[in-house]
A and B are shown apart, each in its own frame.
Chain A
Amino acid sequence: DTGVSQDPRHKITKRGQNVTFRCDPISEHNRLYWYRQTLGQGPEFLTYFQNEAQLEKSRLLSDRFSAERPKGSFSTLEIQRTEQGDSAMYLCASSLSGTIETQYFGPGTRLLVL
């Protein structure tokens, strides 16, 4: 247990539905990252926050994806109008900003879109 939690751990949904995932980082960590991992691949960067500010978004993050970190603590990732290609593991990680950071990963949310 790294101290980063994610909820839910698994989600099965029908195409077209909206889903929302939550990440609770280690409490003193000011940075929070979202990654997506498909089968047989390493994680890919989606977006990250420093405190409540979303500082960068990947081009992988289409308009159907939105992430928030309203109070600089937990974060949510919402996918609207899900597509089968959204099926993946969604990973959250947190860190304390610095020259060299160690990111602590959550257990991930596995999404299956039918």
Chain B
Amino acid sequence: KNEVEQSPQNLTAQEGEFITINCSYSVGISALHWLQQHPGGGIVSLFMLSSGKKKHGRLIATINIQEKHSSLHITASHPRDSAVYICATWGDKLVFGAGTILRVKS
């Protein structure tokens, strides 16, 4: 059974700071999602990646398949980035981490 662990659980940052959220998983996967969930519950898929690195605006996601580890980076963080960031791995189904609660203060 795949276990997905995220760190940190909670993160508070000042506007403009560089942020890193980590995700580790325990078994081989075919792909990994990074998702963003805002208060009220709506979930948006940010990235799906199976190798290397992807970039979209101020967001960068990397994955190391050998080390079973992925990171989500936010550059020049802004209060509107405040949300829960969830890592989810694709094996035969999506398995989700517990999420990282990010609060960016202005």
Contacts and interface: CB of A to CB of B under 8 A. Distances in A.
B52 interface: no
Contact of A100 (B40, B42, B45, B48): B48
Interface string B10-50: 00000000000000000000110101000011111100101
Interface of B: 4, 30-31, 33, 35, 40-45, 48, 50, 86, 88, 90, 93-99
Contact-size category for A? 20 to 34
Contacts of B30: 99-100
Contacts, number: 57
A63 B62 CA distance: 41
A76 interface: no
Nearest to B30: A100
A93 B45 CA distance: 11
